[in-house]
Amino acid sequence: MTTPLLSLRDIKKNFGSAQAVAGVTMDIHRNEFFALLGASGSGKTTLLRMLAGFEAPSGGDILLEGASIAAMPPNKRPVNLMFQSYALFPHMTVAQNIAYGLEMDRLAKAEIKSRVSEILEVIQLGHLGGRKPDQLSGGQRQRVALARALVKRPKVLLLDEPLGALDKKLRSEMQLELKRLQHEFGITFIVVTHDQEEALVMADRVAIMKDGALLQVGTPREIYEYPETRFAADFIGVMNFLPVSVASGGYQGKEGPLIRAADAPELAGGSAAVAAIRPERLGVETQGENSLAGEITDIAYHGLDLLLHVKTPLAETPVISRLTADVAERLSPQVGQRITLGWSARDTRIFPA
Protein backbone atom coordinates (compact mmCIF):
# COMPACT_ATOMS: atom_id res chain seq x y z
CA MET A 1 0.00 0.00 0.00
CA THR A 2 1.35 3.46 -0.93
CA THR A 3 2.18 5.90 1.84
CA PRO A 4 -0.34 8.77 2.09
CA LEU A 5 1.05 12.17 1.23
CA LEU A 6 -0.45 13.70 4.37
CA SER A 7 -1.55 11.93 7.55
CA LEU A 8 -3.35 13.41 10.54
CA ARG A 9 -3.07 11.35 13.69
CA ASP A 10 -5.47 12.18 16.53
CA ILE A 11 -5.04 15.93 15.94
CA LYS A 12 -6.53 18.16 18.64
CA LYS A 13 -6.71 21.91 19.12
CA ASN A 14 -7.88 23.64 22.30
CA PHE A 15 -8.44 27.34 22.83
CA GLY A 16 -8.55 27.54 26.60
CA SER A 17 -11.33 25.22 27.74
CA ALA A 18 -12.93 25.11 24.27
CA GLN A 19 -11.99 22.24 21.97
CA ALA A 20 -11.96 23.40 18.33
CA VAL A 21 -10.66 20.12 16.85
CA ALA A 22 -11.39 16.86 18.67
CA GLY A 23 -8.97 14.10 17.76
CA VAL A 24 -9.14 13.98 13.95
CA THR A 25 -7.42 11.07 12.19
CA MET A 26 -7.36 10.71 8.40
CA ASP A 27 -5.11 10.27 5.36
CA ILE A 28 -4.91 12.46 2.25
CA HIS A 29 -3.30 11.09 -0.90
CA ARG A 30 -1.05 12.45 -3.63
CA ASN A 31 -2.72 14.41 -6.43
CA GLU A 32 -6.03 14.33 -4.54
CA PHE A 33 -8.64 17.09 -4.45
CA PHE A 34 -9.84 16.84 -0.84
CA ALA A 35 -12.63 18.92 0.71
CA LEU A 36 -13.19 19.74 4.39
CA LEU A 37 -16.92 20.41 4.62
CA GLY A 38 -18.83 21.74 7.58
CA ALA A 39 -20.83 24.61 9.02
CA SER A 40 -19.26 27.59 10.79
CA GLY A 41 -17.59 26.47 14.00
CA SER A 42 -17.09 22.88 12.84
CA GLY A 43 -13.29 23.14 13.15
CA LYS A 44 -12.43 22.90 9.45
CA THR A 45 -10.57 26.23 9.19
CA THR A 46 -8.67 25.57 12.44
CA LEU A 47 -7.61 22.22 10.99
CA LEU A 48 -6.46 23.93 7.79
CA ARG A 49 -4.43 26.47 9.77
CA MET A 50 -2.70 23.63 11.65
CA LEU A 51 -1.79 22.04 8.32
CA ALA A 52 -0.36 25.38 7.18
CA GLY A 53 1.58 25.83 10.44
CA PHE A 54 -0.25 28.95 11.63
CA GLU A 55 -1.68 27.06 14.62
CA ALA A 56 0.16 24.52 16.75
CA PRO A 57 -1.74 21.30 17.58
CA SER A 58 -2.65 20.76 21.23
CA GLY A 59 -2.15 17.04 20.65
CA GLY A 60 -1.54 14.47 17.94
CA ASP A 61 0.74 14.64 14.92
CA ILE A 62 0.80 15.76 11.28
CA LEU A 63 2.91 13.66 8.91
CA LEU A 64 4.00 14.71 5.42
CA GLU A 65 5.37 11.76 3.44
CA GLY A 66 5.78 9.91 6.73
CA ALA A 67 7.77 12.65 8.53
CA SER A 68 6.30 14.85 11.26
CA ILE A 69 5.82 18.52 10.38
CA ALA A 70 3.73 19.45 13.46
CA ALA A 71 6.56 21.58 14.90
CA MET A 72 7.81 22.93 11.56
CA PRO A 73 7.29 26.69 10.98
CA PRO A 74 5.02 27.72 8.07
CA ASN A 75 7.82 29.08 5.87
CA LYS A 76 9.66 25.74 6.03
CA ARG A 77 6.70 23.59 4.98
CA PRO A 78 6.21 22.63 1.29
CA VAL A 79 2.63 23.83 1.75
CA ASN A 80 0.93 27.00 0.52
CA LEU A 81 -2.28 28.57 1.85
CA MET A 82 -4.56 30.63 -0.40
CA PHE A 83 -6.86 32.91 1.60
CA GLN A 84 -10.44 33.82 0.69
CA SER A 85 -9.51 37.52 0.46
CA TYR A 86 -6.82 36.76 -2.22
CA ALA A 87 -4.54 39.45 -0.57
CA LEU A 88 -3.09 40.72 -3.85
CA PHE A 89 -0.74 43.71 -3.67
CA PRO A 90 -2.66 46.59 -5.32
CA HIS A 91 0.49 48.51 -6.36
CA MET A 92 1.97 45.48 -8.20
CA THR A 93 1.08 44.10 -11.61
CA VAL A 94 -0.32 40.62 -12.07
CA ALA A 95 3.13 39.30 -13.01
CA GLN A 96 4.77 41.01 -10.04
CA ASN A 97 2.17 39.58 -7.65
CA ILE A 98 2.82 36.08 -8.94
CA ALA A 99 6.60 36.53 -8.82
CA TYR A 100 6.68 37.91 -5.27
CA GLY A 101 6.99 34.57 -3.46
CA LEU A 102 9.71 33.37 -5.82
CA GLU A 103 11.67 36.58 -5.22
CA MET A 104 11.42 36.04 -1.47
CA ASP A 105 12.90 32.57 -2.05
CA ARG A 106 15.77 34.28 -3.94
CA LEU A 107 15.35 32.30 -7.15
CA ALA A 108 17.31 33.42 -10.21
CA LYS A 109 15.60 36.13 -12.30
CA ALA A 110 15.53 33.90 -15.38
CA GLU A 111 13.84 31.11 -13.41
CA ILE A 112 11.29 33.55 -11.97
CA LYS A 113 10.46 34.96 -15.40
CA SER A 114 10.10 31.49 -16.90
CA ARG A 115 7.81 30.24 -14.10
CA VAL A 116 5.63 33.36 -14.14
CA SER A 117 5.20 33.22 -17.93
CA GLU A 118 4.37 29.53 -17.77
CA ILE A 119 1.70 29.85 -15.10
CA LEU A 120 0.14 32.94 -16.71
CA GLU A 121 -0.52 30.78 -19.76
CA VAL A 122 -1.92 27.95 -17.64
CA ILE A 123 -4.43 30.28 -15.95
CA GLN A 124 -5.19 31.82 -19.36
CA LEU A 125 -4.15 35.35 -18.34
CA GLY A 126 -0.94 35.63 -20.35
CA HIS A 127 -2.20 38.84 -21.99
CA LEU A 128 -2.94 40.51 -18.62
CA GLY A 129 0.42 40.20 -16.88
CA GLY A 130 0.96 43.96 -16.90
CA ARG A 131 -2.39 44.91 -15.34
CA LYS A 132 -3.02 45.88 -11.72
CA PRO A 133 -5.48 43.87 -9.57
CA ASP A 134 -8.12 46.63 -9.65
CA GLN A 135 -8.24 46.28 -13.45
CA LEU A 136 -9.31 42.64 -13.21
CA SER A 137 -12.66 40.92 -12.67
CA GLY A 138 -13.33 38.88 -9.54
CA GLY A 139 -12.68 35.62 -11.36
CA GLN A 140 -9.42 36.92 -12.80
CA ARG A 141 -8.20 38.05 -9.36
CA GLN A 142 -9.05 34.62 -8.03
CA ARG A 143 -6.90 33.04 -10.74
CA VAL A 144 -3.99 35.35 -9.97
CA ALA A 145 -4.12 34.45 -6.28
CA LEU A 146 -4.21 30.78 -7.24
CA ALA A 147 -1.27 31.22 -9.62
CA ARG A 148 0.76 32.98 -6.91
CA ALA A 149 0.27 29.94 -4.67
CA LEU A 150 0.89 27.36 -7.40
CA VAL A 151 4.00 28.99 -8.88
CA LYS A 152 6.02 27.94 -5.83
CA ARG A 153 5.16 24.31 -6.67
CA PRO A 154 4.07 23.21 -3.19
CA LYS A 155 3.34 19.58 -2.42
CA VAL A 156 0.03 20.64 -0.88
CA LEU A 157 -2.13 23.67 -1.66
CA LEU A 158 -4.59 24.72 1.04
CA LEU A 159 -7.60 26.80 -0.01
CA ASP A 160 -9.81 28.55 2.55
CA GLU A 161 -13.27 29.20 1.02
CA PRO A 162 -11.56 30.09 -2.30
CA LEU A 163 -14.78 30.90 -4.18
CA GLY A 164 -16.63 32.67 -1.39
CA ALA A 165 -16.26 36.16 -2.89
CA LEU A 166 -17.65 35.20 -6.32
CA ASP A 167 -21.23 35.31 -7.58
CA LYS A 168 -23.11 32.06 -8.22
CA LYS A 169 -22.48 31.83 -11.98
CA LEU A 170 -18.78 32.59 -11.63
CA ARG A 171 -18.48 30.16 -8.72
CA SER A 172 -19.80 27.37 -10.94
CA GLU A 173 -17.28 28.23 -13.66
CA MET A 174 -14.37 28.44 -11.21
CA GLN A 175 -15.24 25.09 -9.61
CA LEU A 176 -14.42 23.43 -12.93
CA GLU A 177 -11.40 25.70 -13.41
CA LEU A 178 -9.97 24.64 -10.04
CA LYS A 179 -10.43 21.00 -10.98
CA ARG A 180 -8.66 21.58 -14.29
CA LEU A 181 -5.71 23.32 -12.64
CA GLN A 182 -5.41 20.69 -9.91
CA HIS A 183 -5.35 17.93 -12.54
CA GLU A 184 -2.86 19.82 -14.72
CA PHE A 185 -0.42 20.53 -11.88
CA GLY A 186 -0.83 17.20 -10.11
CA ILE A 187 -0.71 18.91 -6.71
CA THR A 188 -2.80 17.84 -3.73
CA PHE A 189 -5.53 20.43 -3.08
CA ILE A 190 -7.25 20.66 0.31
CA VAL A 191 -10.19 23.05 0.24
CA VAL A 192 -12.27 24.29 3.16
CA THR A 193 -15.90 25.05 2.30
CA HIS A 194 -19.35 25.19 3.83
CA ASP A 195 -20.93 24.83 0.37
CA GLN A 196 -22.17 21.25 -0.20
CA GLU A 197 -22.46 21.62 -3.97
CA GLU A 198 -18.94 23.02 -4.19
CA ALA A 199 -17.52 20.04 -2.30
CA LEU A 200 -19.48 17.47 -4.32
CA VAL A 201 -18.52 19.01 -7.69
CA MET A 202 -14.81 19.58 -7.05
CA ALA A 203 -13.54 16.98 -4.61
CA ASP A 204 -12.30 13.43 -5.11
CA ARG A 205 -13.13 12.84 -1.43
CA VAL A 206 -15.04 14.85 1.17
CA ALA A 207 -14.63 14.95 4.95
CA ILE A 208 -17.67 16.14 6.93
CA MET A 209 -16.89 17.87 10.22
CA LYS A 210 -19.16 18.84 13.12
CA ASP A 211 -18.18 20.39 16.48
CA GLY A 212 -14.50 19.69 15.82
CA ALA A 213 -15.05 15.99 15.11
CA LEU A 214 -14.74 14.06 11.86
CA LEU A 215 -18.08 12.42 11.02
CA GLN A 216 -17.40 10.75 7.68
CA VAL A 217 -14.88 10.63 4.84
CA GLY A 218 -15.75 9.34 1.39
CA THR A 219 -16.21 10.08 -2.28
CA PRO A 220 -18.98 12.54 -3.16
CA ARG A 221 -21.21 9.63 -4.17
CA GLU A 222 -20.54 7.73 -0.94
CA ILE A 223 -21.23 10.83 1.15
CA TYR A 224 -24.45 11.63 -0.72
CA GLU A 225 -25.88 8.13 -1.23
CA TYR A 226 -24.65 6.45 1.98
CA PRO A 227 -24.47 8.99 4.83
CA GLU A 228 -23.39 7.35 8.08
CA THR A 229 -25.17 9.76 10.44
CA ARG A 230 -28.41 11.71 10.39
CA PHE A 231 -26.40 14.95 10.51
CA ALA A 232 -24.45 13.99 7.36
CA ALA A 233 -27.68 12.98 5.63
CA ASP A 234 -29.29 16.32 6.48
CA PHE A 235 -26.22 18.45 5.75
CA ILE A 236 -25.61 17.15 2.23
CA GLY A 237 -28.37 17.96 -0.24
CA VAL A 238 -32.08 17.57 0.55
CA MET A 239 -33.33 14.59 2.54
CA ASN A 240 -36.80 13.49 3.66
CA PHE A 241 -37.00 12.21 7.24
CA LEU A 242 -39.91 10.05 8.37
CA PRO A 243 -40.33 9.09 12.06
CA VAL A 244 -40.78 5.34 12.43
CA SER A 245 -40.38 2.55 14.98
CA VAL A 246 -38.67 -0.80 14.50
CA ALA A 247 -41.21 -3.51 13.61
CA SER A 248 -41.14 -7.07 12.35
CA GLY A 249 -40.01 -7.02 8.71
CA GLY A 250 -39.53 -3.26 8.48
CA TYR A 251 -40.26 0.12 10.07
CA GLN A 252 -43.71 1.34 11.05
CA GLY A 253 -44.88 4.93 10.92
CA LYS A 254 -47.85 6.18 12.94
CA GLU A 255 -50.02 5.32 9.94
CA GLY A 256 -49.67 3.51 6.64
CA PRO A 257 -47.77 0.43 5.47
CA LEU A 258 -44.38 -0.81 6.67
CA ILE A 259 -41.32 0.94 5.29
CA ARG A 260 -38.60 -1.43 4.14
CA ALA A 261 -34.87 -0.80 4.02
CA ALA A 262 -32.22 -3.01 2.42
CA ASP A 263 -29.42 -1.96 4.78
CA ALA A 264 -30.18 -0.79 8.30
CA PRO A 265 -28.48 -0.64 11.71
CA GLU A 266 -29.21 -3.15 14.46
CA LEU A 267 -31.99 -1.61 16.57
CA ALA A 268 -34.15 -3.19 19.24
CA GLY A 269 -37.74 -3.99 18.32
CA GLY A 270 -40.11 -1.10 19.04
CA SER A 271 -37.31 1.48 19.34
CA ALA A 272 -37.69 4.84 17.62
CA ALA A 273 -35.88 5.47 14.35
CA VAL A 274 -35.89 7.76 11.32
CA ALA A 275 -36.27 6.63 7.71
CA ALA A 276 -34.46 8.91 5.24
CA ILE A 277 -35.10 9.07 1.47
CA ARG A 278 -33.70 11.44 -1.15
CA PRO A 279 -36.35 13.40 -3.14
CA GLU A 280 -35.10 12.09 -6.50
CA ARG A 281 -35.65 8.49 -5.31
CA LEU A 282 -39.37 9.09 -4.72
CA GLY A 283 -41.16 8.27 -7.95
CA VAL A 284 -44.73 9.36 -8.59
CA GLU A 285 -47.14 6.49 -9.35
CA THR A 286 -44.21 4.08 -9.71
CA GLN A 287 -43.77 0.58 -8.31
CA GLY A 288 -41.34 -0.26 -5.51
CA GLU A 289 -41.01 -2.11 -2.23
CA ASN A 290 -42.31 1.03 -0.53
CA SER A 291 -45.32 3.22 -1.29
CA LEU A 292 -46.81 6.24 0.41
CA ALA A 293 -50.02 8.10 -0.49
CA GLY A 294 -50.47 11.82 0.02
CA GLU A 295 -51.71 15.13 -1.33
CA ILE A 296 -49.66 17.72 -3.22
CA THR A 297 -49.57 20.94 -1.16
CA ASP A 298 -47.04 22.92 -3.16
CA ILE A 299 -45.06 22.79 -6.41
CA ALA A 300 -41.67 24.48 -6.81
CA TYR A 301 -40.36 24.99 -10.35
CA HIS A 302 -36.55 24.82 -10.71
CA GLY A 303 -36.16 24.78 -14.48
CA LEU A 304 -34.48 21.40 -14.90
CA ASP A 305 -36.71 19.79 -12.31
CA LEU A 306 -39.87 20.19 -10.27
CA LEU A 307 -40.18 19.72 -6.50
CA LEU A 308 -43.50 18.36 -5.27
CA HIS A 309 -44.33 18.96 -1.60
CA VAL A 310 -46.62 16.10 -0.56
CA LYS A 311 -48.53 15.94 2.73
CA THR A 312 -48.59 12.36 4.08
CA PRO A 313 -49.84 10.80 7.33
CA LEU A 314 -46.25 9.84 8.30
CA ALA A 315 -44.76 13.26 9.04
CA GLU A 316 -45.75 16.78 10.10
CA THR A 317 -43.69 18.33 7.30
CA PRO A 318 -44.45 17.54 3.65
CA VAL A 319 -42.37 14.93 1.85
CA ILE A 320 -40.46 16.30 -1.16
CA SER A 321 -40.30 14.44 -4.46
CA ARG A 322 -38.05 15.67 -7.27
CA LEU A 323 -39.29 15.12 -10.83
CA THR A 324 -37.26 15.70 -13.98
CA ALA A 325 -38.74 18.13 -16.49
CA ASP A 326 -39.89 15.41 -18.91
CA VAL A 327 -41.60 13.38 -16.16
CA ALA A 328 -43.25 16.52 -14.78
CA GLU A 329 -44.55 17.42 -18.25
CA ARG A 330 -45.98 13.92 -18.71
CA LEU A 331 -47.69 13.79 -15.29
CA SER A 332 -48.79 17.48 -15.10
CA PRO A 333 -49.11 17.43 -11.27
CA GLN A 334 -51.48 19.93 -9.62
CA VAL A 335 -51.80 21.31 -6.08
CA GLY A 336 -54.52 19.38 -4.26
CA GLN A 337 -53.97 16.25 -6.34
CA ARG A 338 -53.65 12.94 -4.48
CA ILE A 339 -50.71 10.82 -5.58
CA THR A 340 -48.76 7.74 -4.51
CA LEU A 341 -45.00 7.89 -4.07
CA GLY A 342 -42.99 4.71 -4.62
CA TRP A 343 -39.34 3.88 -3.91
CA SER A 344 -36.93 1.01 -3.47
CA ALA A 345 -35.85 -0.50 -0.15
CA ARG A 346 -32.21 0.06 -1.14
CA ASP A 347 -32.87 3.81 -1.26
CA THR A 348 -34.05 3.94 2.38
CA ARG A 349 -31.49 4.93 5.01
CA ILE A 350 -32.34 4.21 8.67
CA PHE A 351 -30.91 6.21 11.61
CA PRO A 352 -31.61 5.99 15.33
CA ALA A 353 -34.09 8.65 16.38
Residue 280: Cβ within 10 Å count: 16
Q: Which residues contact 74 (CB under 8 A, 6 or more apart)?
A: 52, 53, 54, 81
pTM of whole model > 0.95?
no
- Domains (ranges, CATH) in the chain? 6-230 (3.40.50.300), 238-352 (2.40.50.140)
Q: What is the DSSP string of 65-77?
A: TTEE-TTS-GGGS
Instruction: Burial-class residue 101 by CB neighbours within 10 Å (0-12, 13-18, 19+).
Output: middle
The tens place of each residue's pLDDT in the chain, 353 residues long, gives: 578 999 999 999 999 999 999 999 999 999 999 999 999 889 999 999 999 999 999 999 999 999 999 999 998 899 988 876 667 888 999 898 889 888 888 889 899 889 888 888 887 788 888 889 888 887 788 888 888 888 888 899 998 887 776 677 777 777 888 888 888 888 899 999 988 888 998 999 999 999 999 999 999 999 999 999 999 999 998 999 999 999 888 888 888 788 999 888 888 888 899 999 999 999 998 778 899 999 999 999 988 889 999 999 888 899 999 998 888 888 889 999 999 999 999 999 999 98
DSSP assignment, residue 259?
Answer: B
Q: What is the DSSP string of 117-185?
A: HHHHHHTT-GGGTTS-GGGS-HHHHHHHHHHHHHTT--SEEEEESTTTTS-HHHHHHHHHHHHHHHHHH
